[in-house]
Amino acid sequence: MSLFPPSTNAAYRGSLWSAGFLGLTGLLTLGPGCIHYFLPDGGAGVIAGLDLTRDGKVILATFAWMGALQIPYALIMLAVAIRYRTLVPLFLAGQLLQTVLSAVAAWIFKGVIAGHHPPENYAVLVNLPLLALFLWLSLRVQKTAS
């Protein structure tokens, strides 16, 4: 047994565009993960505009924790997109669920943070229809050339 089992790409029948989109999503998740984990303020102050004078250590720890979740998840998405494409629909469905939950929290239940919406709040609105489209494409069986 090895860390990376044999590739499942030969069994994938969905759109290669969906696998590519999942790979792009992985890269775009890796960036914020590294920001949250490695930037001194995790992006809480310089990007999200949060006031770190009150409960700053809790905010920084929460941002670092989020980065610690995002980095491995992004790497796994990249592995699926490159080597284990039969899992592309499952990962796109999971990403769609995460994005719906984020959008609902940001725009309906939790509202504005520190007087404005951070960039991710707008990104989820753009990403929702794209995820739905690429999930649908990943579930459609592609016709093979005869």
Q: pLDDT grade, residue 120 (50/70/90)?
A: confident
- Domain annotation covers residue 7: no
Which tens digit of pLDDT belongs to each residue from 25-53? Answer: 999 999 999 999 999 999 988 888 888 99
- Domain annotation covers residue 80: yes
- Domain annotation covers residue 8: no
The DSSP secondary structure of 67-130, one letter per residue, reads: HHHHHHHHHHHHHHHHH-GGGHHHHHHHHHHHHHHHHHIIIIIS--BTTB--HHHHHHHHHHHH
Is 99 or 118 the better-scoring residue by pLDDT? 99
pLDDT at 117: 74
Number of domains the chain contains: 1
Is 115 or 103 the better-scoring residue by pLDDT? 103
Domain that holds residue 68: 14-139
Look-up of token digits 């590519």: 20
- Domain annotation covers residue 58: yes
If you average pLDDT over every residue of the chain, what do you get? 91
Q: How many CA atoms lie within 13 A of 64 on its CB side?
A: 10
pLDDT at 145: 52
- Domain annotation covers residue 6: no
- Domain annotation covers residue 3: no
pLDDT at 112: 60
- Domain annotation covers residue 38: yes
For residue 108, pLDDT beyond 90: no
Q: pLDDT grade, residue 122 (50/70/90)?
A: confident
Which tens digit of pLDDT belongs to each residue from 49-96? Answer: 888 998 899 999 999 999 999 999 999 999 999 999 999 999 999 999
pLDDT at 111: 67
pLDDT at 121: 84
- Domain annotation covers residue 107: yes
